[in-house]
């Protein structure tokens, strides 16, 4: 499903998968990641999270909201520049700041609008990101529970995942994946 007139003016989409059993859909709000989702970059965990989400949602019934918020909302070109800074030792958040951007410029107001348009004001949220949950609640979506995504660590994304835990309290248990 596609949407027009969302608060941020961007083109986002929703995929409905499976059959919701108890009236509350499992929802993954996934920010676009061309490098991870399409090209399989090992620098992040986006591609594996997306594939896992599609399987889980298909089984439980629910929605994938695919938001056009590349690179934590800084855009593809800035994200690629941030990669260069990360290669010089900055973490993903420091790199965004060094480019004059916020650590994370994503906003989930459009996701809340999409959910309401689809008739859902209560969801089970598939995420490790507490900010996503907080924002959706602030926008009037009841998050009945959060469902953690898997931990997709590899030698190329350990620093990235560690920064997500340290800087934004992502609920990723890196010690269990070692």
Contact 32, 69 (CB under 8 A): yes
Contact 48, 150 (CB under 8 A): yes
Q: Is 106 a catalytic residue?
A: yes
Which of 104, 124, 138, 173 is catalytic? The answer is 104
Q: Is 104 a catalytic residue?
A: yes
Strand 122-126 and strand 142-147: the pairing is parallel
Which of 43, 81, 106, 107 is catalytic? The answer is 106
Length of the chain: 178
Q: In what order do the strands lie in the sheet with 13-17?
A: 13-17, 62-67, 26-31, 122-126, 142-147
d(CA 58, CA 68): 22
Beta bridge partners of 2: 13
DSSP letter at 134 equals: H
**Any idea which residues carry the catalytic annotation?**
104, 106
């Amino acid at each position: 499903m596609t949407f027009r007139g969302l608060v941020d003016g961007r083109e986002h989409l929703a995929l409905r998968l499976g059959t919701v059993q108890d009236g509350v859909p499992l929802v993954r709000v996934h920010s676009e990641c061309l490098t991870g989702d399409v090209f399989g970059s090992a620098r992040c965990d986006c591609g594996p999270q997306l594939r896992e989400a599609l399987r889980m949602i298909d089984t439980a019934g629910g929605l994938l909201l695919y938001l056009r918020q590349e690179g934590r909302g800084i855009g593809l070109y800035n994200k690629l520049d941030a990669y260069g800074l990360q290669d010089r030792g900055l973490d993903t958040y420091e790199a965004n700041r060094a480019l004059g951007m916020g650590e994370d410029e994503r906003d989930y107001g459009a996701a809340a609008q999409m959910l309401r348009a689809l008739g859902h004001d209560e969801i089970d949220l598939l995420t490790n990101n507490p900010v996503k949950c907080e924002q959706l609640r602030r926008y009037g979506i009841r998050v009945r529970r959060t469902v953690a995504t898997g931990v997709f660590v590899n030698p190329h994304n350990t620093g990235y995942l560690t920064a997500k835990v340290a800087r934004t309290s992502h609920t990723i248990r890196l010690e269990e994946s070692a």
